[in-house]
Chain A
Amino acid sequence: MGRRPLNICMVSDFFYPNMGGVESHLYNNSQCLIQRGHKVVIVTHAYGKRRGVRYLAGGLKVYYLPAFVVYSNASLPTFFCTFPIFRQIFIREQIDIVHGHQAFSAFCQEAILHARSMGLKTVFTDHSLLGFADASGILLNKLLKFTLSDVHHAICVSHTSKENTVLRAALDPQQVSVVPNAIIAEQFEPDPDARDPQWITIVVLSRLVYRKGIDLLVAAVPRICQMYPRVRFVIGGDGPKRIDLEQMRERYMLQDRVELLGSVQAVDVRSVLVRGDIFLNTSLTEAFCIAIVEAASCGLLVVSTKVGGVPEVLPRHMITFAIPEEDEIVEALRHAIGRVGDRPNHPELSPKRFHAQVKKMYSWYDVAERTEKVYYQIADMPELPLIERFRRYYGCGLVAGKLFCLVAAVDFLIGVVLQWLWPRENIEVARPFPQETYHALVKENRRTANGELGAL
């Protein structure tokens, strides 16, 4: 198998400046892939004034395309309208593999469709779980079935997520790989001096919304505060449920023991985490949960609801589970508070040890290596004839199958028209990023900076 470097295009609606798990996955995975010698381009929609082409560190090129954003940063699904611009990008950047992220992203679904019409290889990564009961779930699952019925490989962030995706999109499970998320462990080192030894501090860092189980938090906080006079809470994040937390704090007069920080910047996450002894996660659904890994890396004991992929993420000596029920959460917190006292006597529970273990478990280099494995697995697959693609779409459903075939056929024809309008040969190929010059410059800069510091 040829280990030639690949040109990869990551597509998702969700990228920086927006914050979240998908965004950090995209950025870090791309950086590591670039370090492994590949070329990576990210395509996302414009965020306010941030539009056009931008270069990030390491020569990571990001296209911020104009798009109409409908709901929580997802762009309006247009089916065919994005084809010309995606085609230009794919040809300009000489893309081999199109890698879409997150099912909610219309950009990702459309990019995969157009890439298939152009005969490119496609990979899809699912970052979240979705049920089967509600209307949005049913609709989105149908759409996902359409996109994924012709994708070469899918990646999920946890085994539970894989089961979910296989069921939702009726995929062959052998076509789905599990590649977890990771953290940059160096950015989450424990700091024993930051703790206040007078208190046992419980840290919560999450968006304050229903799906993160804030109702459970609101119920558990006053009970724990009543039981343990030495326990205090530090709650970071913002959202509609913040009012509930504030009301709870007023009602039980806990202003001095429950600290609400508001939204916390990514760079400040560690400084908040290291203040605590216990990290509490009350999510109601979670595919992977990077937050608990970050907390464990900072040396905190973790208490979490046992939902989705959470049981797969951390070993049992780092985490205490509870079902999403008020009494269970309180019980799990009591257990964890008891263990905080044990920690000095047990070297295997020391924060340093936690950090070292997490560092071994999760690394973006590992993620990139495993993603690359998927890429090479599909890179040399023979291209299927158009009729075989139609056969796959047709199998998606009685009515939907025919509709999907129609969409795919129209997309293919648009591709032919686009080839006639703007022939592939006339599209200018983007110049490769000068990695050597860039690294030499970076090294130079670092040396001069160090030199200046030395002179001072």
Chain B
Amino acid sequence: MNEIFKDLTLETSQCINCGFCEAVCPTIPAFDYRTSMGARGRINLAKEFLNGNRVLNFRDPFESCLDCYACFQVCPAHVNSGVVSELMKQAIAEGQVQDQEHQVARMITVLIKKYRDPLGLTKEVTEWSKGLEFDSSYQTILYTGHMYQLMAYNKKLGEMLKSIGELYRFITPLLSSLGNPSFIFSKFYDKKIKERSEAQLKNIYYLLRKAGVKFSYLGEEEPYPGTLMIDMGYVSDFKEYAQTVTDLFHKKGVKNIITVDPHTYDVLINKYKKYVSDFDFNVSFYLDHLNSLNLSKLDKRVTYHEPCHLVRHTDHNVPRDFIKKTAELTLPLHNGKNTYCCGGPIEAFYPKASEKISERRFRELKQTNAEIIVTSCPICFVNLYRDESVMDISELLIKLVK
């Protein structure tokens, strides 16, 4: 029995089909209440796979999983339907089901391995740092993981995929076989999001400097962490790639890594530590370093959208504590471990469903009657950015720092 089979059997055999997971799974209402597109249905389908069925449409049910782990929070038998999806995506990526690998997913994996960025944008992702000074020693690095920078391009990529429809099947293999396609992707971005994301990164830079933290930045040498590879099931590719990233950090003399977004933070502390034996760096989230800042009070009602990859995947609640210290915080109906996904992780492949999820979450955040909606994840920010009340926590803190 191969590893995927073994792990899937272990995870699904504890499921009693009680349906608790289905009730909290954001993709169920987003896909018009089709059970196969929710947490319980996914476990049922994984059992079909384990029983030898290889020809069903496994791709949509599993690739539409947000990886938000809402299901795991409520499962009394400790089954994680999110992990079931991860394993099934791995089975798809490794060709264990017939012809269901997504060409875009393959293209992104190829590009990451070749250019250390999902779209080959190694220069563009450093533009935020123009004119900023960094420490000469790489002992402590600010590691952006390209996440804030990619938001502007990701939004356009989603729109492109939508407009070309099924043509992506032909276009994407072509793109990945050519030289660096960054000359195409670099032209398509959302200008407003690009400016905003770069400003958010600058805020983070200034906040850390203000707190007296010394750090460097790898610039064009900074590799993307490979998050999408593992999210899309390319585990073997990820392991190999993560080792090259780790080797680079060692070569540069890195000891401490300050991450700026929840996804990179999560992938480093959970996946790198799992798959790379010599990943021995101290990994932190930038807000962990800002306790010494003197912040003024904000006379406004604030609500906080807690990112799944912070509160669930890494149990990190520092952003909420910062907001509590500075403003009157009202949490939405789904909060803490029961937070509700922003829909972002499936924006590129399932834009309509992603939109429904973010709309629902935005409505819930608005129901708190807060004047400001804060989040601490660039993906959540872009997906919830439906009016000017939405801001990244770095934007809030930069206004309040004395």
Query: Is A bound to B?
Result: no
A-side residues, CB < 8 A to B, are none
Query: Which positions in B face A, CB cutoff 8 Å?
Result: none
